[in-house]
Amino acid sequence: MEQLHINTSSKQYSVWIGDDIRYKVSEYIPTPLQQKVSSVLIITDDQVAPLYLQDVKNGLSNRFEVFEYIVPAGEQSKSFQQYYDIQTYALEQGLDRHSLVIALGGGVIGDLAGFVAATYMRGVPFIQVPTTLLAHDSSVGGKVGINHPLGKNMIGAFHQPEAVVYDPTVFKSLPLHEWRSGFAEAIKHSLIWDAQLYSWLQDHIDDFSNIKGELAEQLLLRSIAVKAAVVSEDEKENGIRAILNFGHTLGHAIEKELGYGKMTHGEAVAVGMIFAMRLSEQYYDISLPIDEVKAWLTKLGYETDIPVELDPNQLVHTMKKDKKAQKGVIRMVLMKELGRVEVVSVDEEPIKELLLKSIKGE
């Protein structure tokens, strides 16, 4: 059982990591909040519900009135309609400003439920109960939101949870591509911030089947610690937080151009990270351990080249429309050395050239 304190300018809260703690979520509600909670709304999806909803409910219904709302699994549930429907349900059930929202699921549920919580009656508390490895990244930091047909995560807020209750035993139900999606963010945290973590990950993880118990707890703890350190310095993404975007500028563009769901988020980010490292070598005229990272990623089952069916011009076009772009100029996180990165504005041409090379497998 591990506990990690998160400090942001707007809130302090704990991430709890431990086997089987999903059965007793009510114990991790901070004491002052426990006394105020009038009712609980668990928001989850139809893949998670049959597996874990009852476990979580049992640990809450002895103390609170518990409501549940189940959305279809998948990115398409981060929609205005779903957002509106949950608000309607909450109003119909008489939930008030002291109701507590529990986000039980992966990143989609965390984002959707978190945005409901951020805006229901101008904000109610919520707790993240992640069920995927990928959610170790999204559940900390307070970014919540939904998609607009014109772009992912375009509507949202910063709303920190009251606690994150992380039970790694649920990972046993994760398919391989979900392991890869989540683990890519752990690798990212090591690459941008913590060279020691990079070595530790390389030493301990070359196969997803052995990640459980102590190893799973340590993986979560150390990876989340990086996220927490960055977010503590910059809650609202005005500065350093942008480095978390390493591998994401291209990764997002790949996801979009392939069509969402063809490649998982983390798998696309893995491709993006290799690309960012290659661009960094050019940009700074340095040498980085790209082959080593590629070999490790490949062993873990990741693709590391850009899918051949994608068009460099179209990818660049999409990268220029990224939320982090400024007046159409592409902003990328580049690596100066392992564990140290910075955000820079990059010209289109070198990006296009390198994209073309990478697509050709050069």
- Mark the binding-site residues for NAD(+), compressed into ranges: 107-111, 131-132, 143, 152
- Among residues 7, 58, 87, 169, which is the contact residue for a second copy, using CB under 8 A? 87
Instruction: Extract the tokens encoding 41.
Output: 């709304």
By beta-carbon proximity to a second copy, the closer residue of 28 and 115 is 115
Scan residues 11-30 and list those touching a second copy (CB under 8 A): none
Q: Is 145 left (phi over 0), alpha (psi -120 to 50) or beta?
A: left
161's tokens: 């949870």
Q: With CB under 8 A, what is the number of residues at the site for a second copy? A: 38
Q: Does 76 bind a second copy (CB under 8 A)?
A: no
CB of 185 to a second copy, least distance (A): 19
Considering only 35, 92, 287, 362, the residue that binds a second copy (CB under 8 A) is 92
Q: What phi, psi does 302 have (nearest 5°)?
A: -80, 150
Q: If DSSP codes are grouped into helix, strand and coil, which group holds residue 329?
A: strand
Q: Can you tell me which of 33, 155, 229, 359 binds a second copy, judged by CB under 8 A?
A: 155
Question: Count of alpha carbons within 13 Å of 63, Cβ hemisphere only?
Answer: 16
Give 205 or 242: the residue with its C-beta nearer to a second copy: 242
**Annotated binding-site members:** 107-111, 131-132, 143, 152, 185, 248, 265
Give me the 156-175 binding string for a second copy, x by CB under 8 A, dash otherwise: xxx-----------------
Residue 111 to residue 145: CA distance in whole angstroms: 5
Tokens of 125: 């508390």
Closer Cβ to a second copy, 122 or 308, answer by number: 122
Instruction: For residue 69, report the phi and psi dihedrals to the nearest 5 degrees.
Output: -140, 125
Give the shortest CB-47-to-a second copy separation in angstroms: 27
Q: What is the CA angle 113-117-118, rounded to 5?
A: 115
Give the span between the Cα atoms of 228 and 236, in whole angstroms. 13
Choose the binding region for a second copy from 79-87, 100-108, 226-234, 310-318 (rule: CB under 8 A).
79-87
Binding mask 224-263 for a second copy (x = CB under 8 A): ------------xx--------------------------
Candidate list 50, 72, 123, 350; residue touching a second copy; CB under 8 A: 123
d(CA 111, CA 147): 10
Q: 1, 62, 150, 287: which one contacts a second copy (CB under 8 A)?
A: 150
Backbone angles phi, psi at 22, to 5 degrees: -65, -20
Mark the binding-site residues for Zn(2+), compressed into ranges.
Answer: 185, 248, 265
Out of 121, 229, 240, 290, the only residue in the binding site for a second copy (CB under 8 A) is 121
Write the binding mask 308 to 327 for a second copy: x where contact by CB under 8 A, - elsewhere.
-------------x-xxxxx
Contact stretch for a second copy (CB under 8 A) within 21-29, 45-53, 88-96, 278-286: 88-96
The helix/strand/coil state of 335 is strand
Question: Among 284, 297, 290, 280, which residue's Cα sits nearest to residue 335?
Answer: 280
Residue reference for tokens 């101008």: 122
The answer for 138, left when phi > 0, alpha when psi is -120 to 50, beta otherwise, is alpha
CB-nearer residue toward a second copy: 68 or 237: 237
154 part of the interface to a second copy, by CB under 8 A: yes
Tokens 């919520």 label which residue?
A: 126
Planar angle of CA 165, 168, 171, nearest 5 degrees: 125
Query: Site residues (CB under 8 A) for a second copy?
Result: 10, 38, 80, 84, 87-88, 91-92, 94, 96-98, 118-123, 143, 145, 148, 150-151, 153-158, 236-237, 321, 323-328
